A and B are shown apart, each in its own frame.
Chain A
Amino acid sequence: MTRILLSDKLDNCVARWRKAGLTVIGPVKKETSSSYATVEKAADFDFGIVLPDRSIKGLFFPQTEPMMGYTIKKQDIATNDFAPPTEKRIIFGARSCDASGLAIDDPLFGWDYKDDFWFQRRNETVIVTIACTKADDFCMCTSLKLAPDSTKGSDVLLRPLQNNKGWLVEELTDRGREAFKEIADLLLDGSEQAAPLAVVPEKFNLDACVAWLKNPENFDSTFWKEISMRCIGCGSCTFLCPTCHCFDFQDEGDTYSGIRRKNWDSCSFSLFTMHTSGHNPRSTQSARWRQRIMHKFNYFPGKFSVNSCSGCGRCTRQCPVDMGITETLQAISTLKP
């Protein structure tokens, strides 16, 4: 016997969670762009979106976040620190790839310095993932040894019912069980079948790619120049990526007052590695693209034993020149290690 949440009960669920002090967040389409945003009622959700344009990352690691402010007066200097937010949230309708992305970044934000801003939000947020029954041409989770119903990073996994009237509920963590206690009486017992999962064909052989990347001789291969020739060096792939995590500190202000902020940064930008002297160790776009691939599939797993890619495919989907991880790894798969 499995437990079932019917779609027509979702309005009640949202109300319950909101009453319990949780901010409810879900996939939303506004005007021409989709993202995970705050919802007030069931009708605000758009579960038809294969994958929101923007990843879940920004809810845990915002594109810009204040760290410290200062005010200089005649005699003294006042500073104020910003504390991580304590808001409790539930994300209903995350995708497996997005949830996995968070789990991939957890060790990164905690290995030498524990980033309170990240972990506070992680601890206060329940992630309810809905397994995918639809995929598009860019999805590639299976190539990363994940699946449309991976449970990595999720607190609850929902599987859409075959009759499309609700979801099968699988509670995975204590945090998930806690949140679902609020709505326990709204769940039914049933034996309905789950709808078949989306079919995501495997696009490249990950092990072969990793072996090629690990060979130091290939660092200087002409392959990098060829594959990245059309890259225009915008940062959209890195900013939309659920696992890209580079940031930069920026001071905005003047002699009298100002603020220090943590902003997203991108290895695609030529200024990312520019030294004050004017020397740039990654002076070409091919070196920057190599860094992105190497970091995701060689350096990051070398340190944290997990690839820094969850296969969402946003990098290709939104690329102005139709590049992306899929094409590069497909090309590497065909090379000799």
Chain B
Amino acid sequence: MSIQEQYKKRVRELLSSGAVKMVIGYQAGTTADRRRPLFIRTPEEAEKLVLDSACIANLSGYLVTEGLLSDEKSVGIFLRPDGIRSINILAAEAQLNPEQVVILGFDGNDKEVTALQGEKARDFSAIIASIKEHAPEAPRNPQLEQIEKMSPKERFAFWQAEFSRCIKCYACRQACPMCYCRRCIVDSNQPQWVNTSSHTLGNLEWNVVRAFHLSGRCVGCGNCDRACPVNIPLRLINAKMAGEVLGAFDHFAGMSETQEPVLASFKKDDSETFIL
């Protein structure tokens, strides 16, 4: 039985037994290579489910939709390891109760996907630990290396060119499972820290703030990067910051439901070479 059929069966079981009130998965999209999020509420609707290598969006952001989990019923959700890490972070930041999340895990490459064993986020801790272990030797984005080699002036010019295209649609923020604030800093106008206009200065401020708020929280799912309608390489900044946080504080986002957020915790012997 293919993984897709296996999981269809599992979804039907979960829904008909009442173990979950809804399963969030994928269905066919407008074109052959696109998948759309699917909300399955009856066993019959499970027929629409599609699970293959084109299912790449991290769906965990839907779990923090207002009111979805407030009735204390469980919700099933299809997640790759990065999505499971998102659940851990959302749980650690008290945005959801991980007991209410039934994970239908899968992983794979651009050709095929395989099922991951487990149900609750903590069942996948061994998988996440091994990802962390292999993080330092994982192949780095060649563009990232290229940017690191630039002089500060060149880097500034590079990012200005990228950010000048930004139209401030905030698709990056909305697509990100970690951006759950009811009122984002850019929407606050007393005081107004970020220029709301999408001139390059305002775009720079927005993108720096976004990257800072995701430092040590980003799991690298790429939702922001894919959502950007003007193709700003947002994942480069996120990847860079994740690397910095791992190097400086040995912090790998989303290890467990109880992991302390990196910028809300400290060690007395944290490095401080730059402080005079």
Q: Convert A211-239 into 0s and 1s, putting 1 for each residue whose CB lies closer than 8 angstroms to a CB of B.
A: 00000000000000000011011111011
In the complex the two chains form, is B227's CB within 8 Å of A234's CB?
Answer: yes
B199 and A234 contacting across the interface, CB-CB below 8 Å:
no
Interface centre among B36, B174, B192, B195 (most CB of A within 10 A): B174
- B187 in the interface (beta carbon within 8 A): yes
B230 near A263 (CB under 8 angstroms)? no
The reply to whether B167 and A239 form a contact with Cβ atoms under 8 Å apart is: yes
Say yes or no for A321: interface residue by CB 8 A criterion: yes
**Which residues of B lie under 8 Å from residue A321 when comparing CB positions?**
36-37, 57
Contact of B229 among A31, A240, A326 (CB under 8 A): A240
A274 to chain B, nearest CB (A): 9
Q: Which of B4-12, B27-35, B85-93, B127-135 contacts A (4 or more CB under 8 A)?
A: B27-35
Structural contact, B195 and A252, CB atoms closer than 8 A: yes
B229 touching A250, Cβ below 8 Å? no
**B230, A232: Cβ atoms under 8 Å?**
no
Contact with A along B173-207 (1 / 0, CB 8 A): 11100000000000100001001111100100000
B240 beta carbon closer than 8 Å to chain A: no
Q: In the bound complex, do residue A236 and residue B30 qualify as a contact, i.e. CB atoms below 8 Å apart?
A: no
Q: A137-B31, A261-B197, A316-B30 are in contact. Are A271 and B187 (CB under 8 A)?
A: yes
Q: Are A232 and B169 in contact (CB under 8 A)?
A: no
Which of B35, B61, B199, B231 lies in contact with A322, CB distance below 8 A?
Answer: B35
Is residue B170 within 8 Å, beta carbon to beta carbon, of the partner chain?
yes
Would you call A47 an interface residue if the criterion is a C-beta within 8 Å of the partner chain's C-beta atoms?
Answer: no
Chain B residues whose CB sits within 8 angstroms of the CB of A239 once the complex forms: 167-169, 229
A53 contacts across to B, CB distance below 8 A? 229-231
A28 and B173 CA atoms in complex are apart in Å by 27
Output the least CB separation between A201 and chain B (Å): 13
C-alpha spacing A173/B222, complex, angstroms: 47
**Cβ contact within 8 Å between B167 and A320:** no
A252 to B31 Cα, complex, angstroms: 43
Q: Are the C-beta atoms of A318 and B229 separated by less than 8 Å?
A: yes
Contact, CB under 8 Å: A54 / B230? yes
List, in ascending order, chain A residues with CB within 8 A of B34's CB.
322
Counting contact residues on chain A (CB < 8 A from B), the size range is: 35 or more
Min CB distance, B249 to chain A, in Å?
Answer: 31
Q: Does B165 belong to the interface (CB within 8 Å)?
A: yes
Across the interface, do B61 and A232 meet the contact criterion of CB distance under 8 Å? Answer: yes
A264 touches B (CB below 8 Å): yes
The reply to whether B30 and A234 contact each other, CB–CB distance below 8 Å, is: no
Main secondary structure of the interface of A (DSSP, over half): loop
B246 at the interface (CB under 8 A from A): no
Report Cα–Cα, A324/B30, bound state, in Å.
Answer: 10
Cβ contact within 8 Å between A232 and B197: no
A229 touches B35 (CB 8 A): no
Q: How far is the CA of A327 from the CA of B227 in the complex (A)?
A: 19
Q: In the complex, which residues of chain A have a beta carbon less than 8 angstroms from the beta carbon of B199?
A: 64
**A233 partner residues in chain B, CB cutoff 8 A:** 174
- The contact of A263 among B61, B62, B196, by CB within 8 Å, is B196
Q: Give chain A residues whose Cβ lies under 8 Å from the Cβ of B187.
A: 271
Contact with A along B216-257 (1 / 0, CB 8 A): 000000010011011101000000000000000000000000
B254-275 residues at the A interface, CB under 8 angstroms: none
Partner of A252 from B37, B161, B192 at Cβ < 8 Å: B192
> B interface, how many residues as a size bin?
35 or more
> Is there an interface contact between A322 and B29, defined as CB atoms closer than 8 Å?
yes
Are B175 and A234 neighbours in the complex by a CB distance under 8 Å?
A: yes
Give, as a whole number of angstroms, the nearest-CB distance from B96 to chain A: 17
Question: If the complex has contacts A236-B169, A252-B192, A264-B167, are A322 and B30 also in contact, measured as CB distance less than 8 A?
Answer: yes
Q: Which chain A residues in 33-60 approach chain B with CB under 8 Å?
A: 33, 53-54
Q: Which of B57-83 contact A (CB under 8 A)?
A: 57, 61-62
Query: With A320-B223, A322-B34 given, is the CB distance from A232 to B198 under 8 Å?
Result: no
Check if A299 is an interface residue, CB within 8 A of chain B: no
- In this complex, what residue of A is CB-closest to B233? A32
**A254 smallest CB distance to B (angstroms):** 10
B159 contacts A by Cβ under 8 Å: no
Q: Interface digits, A233-276 against B, CB 8 Å rule (1 contact, 0 not)?
A: 11110111000000000101000000001011010010100000
Does A305 make an interface contact (CB < 8 A)? no
Residue B3 interfacial (CB < 8 Å): no
Known: A233-B174, A263-B196. A137 touches B169 (CB 8 A): no
Given A63-B167, A261-B197: A320 touches B192 (CB 8 Å cut-off): no
Q: How far is the CB of B60 from chain A (nearest CB, A)?
A: 12
CB B169 to nearest CB in A, in angstroms, measures 4
Contact A252 B197 (CB under 8 A): yes
Contacts A318-B229, A320-B223 hold; do A230 and B30 have CB atoms under 8 A apart? no
CB nearest neighbor in B for A318 = B229
Q: CA separation between A94 and B240, bound complex, in Å?
A: 39
Contact between chains at A235 and B197 (CB < 8 Å) = no
Q: Which of B169, B175, B197 contacts A250 (CB 8 A)?
A: B197
Q: Does residue A300 face the partner (Cβ distance < 8 Å to B)?
A: no
Task: Please tell me if the beta carbons of A252 and B165 are within 8 angstroms of each other in the complex.
Answer: no
Min CB distance B67 to A, Å, is 10
How far, in whole Å, are A164 and B99 apart by their CA atoms in the complex?
Answer: 62
- List the 5 closest A-B pairs by CB distance, nearest first: A234-B171, A320-B227, A234-B174, A32-B231, A64-B197
Could you name 27 residue pairs across A and B whose Cβ atoms are closer than 8 Å?
A53-B229, A63-B198, A64-B197, A64-B198, A229-B39, A230-B36, A232-B61, A234-B169, A234-B174, A234-B175, A236-B169, A236-B171, A236-B229, A239-B229, A240-B229, A250-B197, A252-B196, A266-B169, A316-B30, A318-B229, A320-B223, A320-B226, A321-B36, A321-B37, A321-B57, A322-B30, A323-B36
